[in-house]
């Protein structure tokens, strides 16, 4: 099972590197959205610090949404997805590999860029550390929840809009706990509860979303 997981991740990473424009589009969108807020709001540092966590989290969510439509579409168009479904290996494990590769391509770079962009909002070092920790726990959840929506809307006309309607409400708890952790630091409150809830959501997503996504793919392929 582990060898299969590594094989799927490596395959998707190689394909992603051949389509660097798609990867760069996600990163450029994230940088532009975050960078435009200080220009539009003004140079008041107190206001920028208060809104920093929310802006970064919402920008990360919207950026990850850009690449969700391509999670299964290429394999669907060239017939690879049908071969995966006919293979004797677990479809849930194949889906988990694709989710992991998607996060490594679209989520992990956002986590690495977040501290640099947070400096535009004059965020203290401790808040930046909590922000990065929250994003490390939260962005995989966004990829896994998004995979369910991508599987349900596979092959549909106008699926991008429907995908957003399906996924965005499910991501609200992640945004609440992620931004709440940063706000707790700035208020001098403990952050363990927020990060623990994000960790619990991550574990639940790892357990259930691969199976749910696999079932959604079977429904869409029928």
Residue 12 burial (CB count, 10 A) = 21
Q: What is the mean pLDDT of residues 146-158?
A: 82
For 136, the domain range is 2-221
Distance CA 180, CA 131 (A): 10
Q: What is the mean pLDDT of residues 22-37?
A: 88
Residue 60 has pLDDT above 80, yes or no: yes
Residues 110-142: tens digit of each pLDDT? 999 999 998 888 888 899 999 999 999 999 999
Confidence of residue 16 (pLDDT cuts 50, 70, 90): confident
Assign 3-class secondary structure to the chain. CHHHHHHHHHHHHHHHHHCHHHHHHHHHHHHHHHHHHHHHHCCCHHHHHHHHHHHHHHHHHHHHHHHHCCCCHHHHHHCHHHHHHHCCCCHHHHHHHHHHHHHHHHHHHHHHHHHHHHHHHCCCHHHHHHHHHHHHHHHHHHHHHHHHHHHHCCCCCCHHHHHHHHHHHHHHHHHHHHHHHHHHHHHCCCCHHHHHHHHHHHHHHHHHHHHHHHHHHHHHHC
Residues 75-111: tens digit of each pLDDT? 887 877 888 888 778 888 889 999 999 999 988 999 9
Instruction: Note the pLDDT of residue 78.
Output: 80
Residue 26 has pLDDT above 90, yes or no: no
Query: In the numeric block, which tokens belong to residue 118?
Result: 């947070």
User: What's the whole-model pTM score?
Assistant: 0.89
% of residues, the chain, pLDDT over 70: 99
The number of domains in the chain is 1
């Amino acid at each position: 099972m582990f060898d299969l997981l590594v094989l799927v991740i490596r395959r998707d990473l190689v394909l992603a590197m051949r389509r660097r424009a798609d990867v760069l589009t996600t990163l450029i969108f994230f940088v532009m959205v975050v960078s435009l807020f200080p220009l539009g709001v003004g140079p008041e540092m107190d206001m920028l610090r208060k809104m920093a966590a929310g802006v970064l989290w919402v920008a990360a969510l919207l950026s990850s949404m850009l690449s969700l439509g391509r999670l299964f579409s290429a394999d669907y168009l060239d017939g690879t997805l049908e071969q995966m479904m006919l293979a004797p290996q677990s479809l849930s494990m194949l889906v988990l590999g694709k989710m992991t590769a998607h996060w490594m391509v679209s989520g992990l770079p956002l986590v690495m860029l977040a501290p640099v962009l947070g400096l535009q909002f004059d965020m203290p070092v401790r808040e930046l550390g909590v922000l990065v920790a929250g994003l490390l726990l939260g962005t995989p959840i966004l990829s896994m929840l998004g995979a369910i929506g991508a599987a349900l809307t596979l092959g549909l006309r106008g699926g991008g809009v429907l995908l957003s309607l399906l996924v965005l409400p499910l991501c609200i708890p992640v945004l609440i706990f992620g931004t709440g952790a940063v706000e707790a630091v700035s208020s001098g409150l403990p952050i363990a509860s927020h990060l623990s809830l994000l960790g619990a959501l991550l574990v639940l997503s790892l357990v259930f979303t691969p199976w749910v996504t696999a079932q959604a793919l079977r429904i869409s392929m029928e």
